[in-house]
Amino acid sequence: MRTWVCGLVAAVTVTMPAQAEVLRVAGIYPARADEAAFVNRLAVESLGGRDGPALAFAIEDELNDVIVDQRPWFQVIPNGAGADAVLRGFASLDMRTSKITRSKKVCVEEDEKGKCVRKENRKIDCRNLDYVLSPDLRLTARDGQPLYSSSHLSERKTLTVCPDDKEPSRSSVARELAGRIAKTLRDDLAPDDRVDDVRVLEKRDGLSKDDGERFKQALRLTKSDPAAACRVWQDLAQTNPTQIATAFNVALCAEAAGDDAQARALYERLLSVASVSEARDRLKAIDDRERGARQLREHNRS
């Protein structure tokens, strides 16, 4: 294990944010739809419905901007010719209104120049506006195989409009909700290549006074020299193998260095002796990255 830590010194070198004791973990996290991983060339057909065009534009813009592993994930093409898959569907914004009473300060007295000099709370009649955009979308492969459907996609905007309030235009609300849906669709169809700041554990229970001070030194080092912090925790683990925070932080160091196999073994070893929810969360993250890696391989093969 000490040999692994020597390799970690070169791997964990990213400067850390100054505000928290964290280590940075980079990885590719999976799209929700595994079936669409092979799609490189994607066509967005003219979507039907009153707000289909606005949604189509939002989707094209969002998917054109997807970068994974330093490369564009999609080539969005204008029609279905030569596409690996085609997105079809329709979208229409639904709006429902209802009456509501609100208490609002209104002017009840003005001076000779028309300036309000006294206000009172009065009950006024207003309207609740409830906008919902729930498109019906289908992604189909070139051979007709269904890859994805949008039954879960729905965005809502609710607001209250009283006299003298400016009511948003229907088209502006449709564009706003279409933008939100496009972002969700992006996460459904493409992996997320990101860096997460993961908090280390800080409790020093069971450590001697001297070891506790070294542990605190490692916490401080996460902000400026994470590799040095990991060396301290690894040294502490040699003499304090059952100390939970130390064991977790050593595993997190492996994860930050990109050694998911080693990190998995260390988290599982920790969970065999203690119930540590953070370790379970990190195992889930490792599983997710493995799934993301499979999607990337499938994408690159096609």
**For the domain that residue 287 is a member of, what is the CATH number?**
1.25.40.10
* Interatomic CA distance for residues 259 and 228, integer angstroms: 17
DSSP class of residue 259 equals -
182 and 42 both lie in a single domain: yes
In-domain check, residue 126: no
* Interatomic CA distance for residues 244 and 252, integer angstroms: 12
* Interatomic CA distance for residues 198 and 206, integer angstroms: 23
172 and 64 both lie in a single domain: yes
206 and 75 both lie in a single domain: no
In-domain check, residue 110: no
Q: Provide the residue count of the chain.
A: 302
Give pLDDT tens digits along the chain (302 positions).
444 443 443 344 434 334 579 999 999 999 999 999 999 999 999 899 999 999 999 999 999 999 999 999 999 997 778 899 999 999 999 999 999 998 888 888 889 888 999 988 888 899 999 999 999 999 999 999 999 998 889 999 999 998 888 999 999 999 999 999 999 999 999 999 999 999 999 999 999 999 999 999 999 999 999 999 999 999 999 999 999 999 999 999 999 999 999 999 999 999 999 999 999 999 999 999 999 999 999 999 97
pTM of the model: 0.83
74 and 184 both lie in a single domain: yes
The sign of the torsion formed by the CA atoms of 253, 258, 264, 265 equals negative
205 and 261 both lie in a single domain: yes
Domain count, the chain: 2
Q: 41: part of which helix (H) or strand (E)?
A: strand 41-44
11 and 74 both lie in a single domain: no
- For 220, what's the count of Cα atoms within 13 Å in the CB-facing half-sphere? 6
Quote the domain boundaries for residue 8. Answer: 2-29+194-301
71 and 172 both lie in a single domain: yes
70 and 212 both lie in a single domain: no
